[in-house]
Amino acid sequence: MDPDATTDDGNGGESVAGARPDHLDDGHAPSDLIARLDVTDPSFIDDPYPALDALREATPIFWNPSSGQWMLTRFADIASTLRDRRVGRGFTHRYSHEEFGRPAPDPRWAAFHEHERWSLLSLEPPDHTRLRRLVSKVFTPTSIARLRGRVTAFADQRLDRCAEIAADAGSFDLLGDYAQPYSVAVICSMLGVPVEDADRLLAWSHAIVKMYELTSADATRVAANRAAEEYIAYTRELIAEKRRHPDDLLVSQLVQVTDEGDSLTEDEIVCTTMVLVEAGHEATVNTLGNGFRALMHHPDQWRRLTSGELAPGDSVEELLRYDAPLQMFERWVLDDGVEIAGQPIDVGQEVAMLFGSAQRDPRRFDDPGRFDIGRNDPSHVGFGGGIHFCIGAPLARMELAVSVDGIVRRFPDLTLAAEPENHPTFVIRGLKELRLSP
């Protein structure tokens, strides 16, 4: 969602800019289902899948007047749209805001926009091609594989702490006691960020990602912009330190990388470093939280792991699919003549791909509402697709596999200590905590 296209309505909600398309055929739109799609409703947050299933089976695409977006519901359309070069994550490489019919960036959120300016998630070719080529020279499968021993050590250290906490309290919080400190320790170690700064990075990341929700109050945006400003200043200082004292870790490598005389600018290194922390941390933590809630609700699947029937790593793809940590991803239509699921879409319109709906599409997955950790199907859209396929996917998969393996070995009799509560967000889906008893 474009953070500049929304305004607070004075009642804690928002009005959303987005003109109703002239060629919208309401006769084919499930208007009653769309009217009931309230992504802020606590019952929807608790379980969005009945509503998403109903929309998906009613229509492959619909216009959401509350967000000013076309929304895609089915796997095939979403997978093809992710690869369609006529739609893009950004539009300023080809159009001015005025030409595109969008508001100019709100100066109140200047730091947030600065933090996104050179993000791989936001760029389009040729800038994306150049930046990804340079980043890929240091963010390689080989460099990720070398981290496995260190990642396993971080996992074991945190699981030792979880055992100590459970010995005193009878349970531990998989998120606060394990997943969050584990994932940020991994990314700090990889980047070369001092581990004592981990809590600051966590706080900044949590504040910034709230800007990607469909609705956000101005207070949330102020906090996100402040976090981005502080995070940018911190990262610039880190880069300066790596220039003075280079090492073999990622930030230092990004400072030094060259290719045919080309190199990364400081702004590009700042944005790349920040997106790796935000995307990597949020995905790992929320996949573990959502996934282990599902495992505790399906003890037969948990026993498939603890009995040795399945290797722990075999469960990773289903954890990513079944209760997606990223529920929606967006693209802008850049060219004339775009038609998706039979619907013509104009230049300047935004397309929102409902990943959570796609991952439960029976046209793609057999019995998709069934949690089956032996499914082991890596062709889901949990890591996106096309040129914006997540560059950190190998690291995320390794972090998840190491975590599942360690938890299965240490706590084979794990049970749910209390029913968890979701964060009141839709786009990034996760739990506030997950208390487990060993």
CB 417 within 8 A of CB 165: no
Which burial class, exposed, middle or buried, applies to 76 when counting CB atoms under 10 A from its CB (0-12, 13-18, 19+)?
middle
Q: How far apart are CA 209 and CA 227, in angstroms?
A: 10
Q: Which residue would you say has higher pLDDT here, 170 or 261?
A: 170
CB 413 within 8 A of CB 438: yes
pLDDT digit string, tens, across residues 101-134? 888 988 999 999 999 899 888 889 999 998 898 8
CB 169 within 8 A of CB 431: no
How much is the average pLDDT of 356-360?
A: 97
DSSP H stretches of helix in 170-217 = 180-191, 198-209
Q: How far apart are CA 289 and CA 42, in angstroms?
A: 18
Tokens coding 175: 């998120």
Using CA atoms, how far residue 165 sits from 20, 162, 172, 286, 437, in Å, is 54, 5, 6, 21, 10
Q: What percent of the chain has pLDDT over 90?
A: 65
Domains of the chain: 33-437 (1.10.630.10)
pTM, full prediction: 0.89
pLDDT digit string, tens, across residues 151-175? 999 999 999 999 999 999 999 999 9
How much is the average pLDDT of 351-377?
A: 97
pLDDT bin (cut points 50, 70, 90) of residue 13 is very low
State residue 2's pLDDT score. 61
State residue 216's pLDDT score. 80
pLDDT higher than threshold 70 for residue 26: no
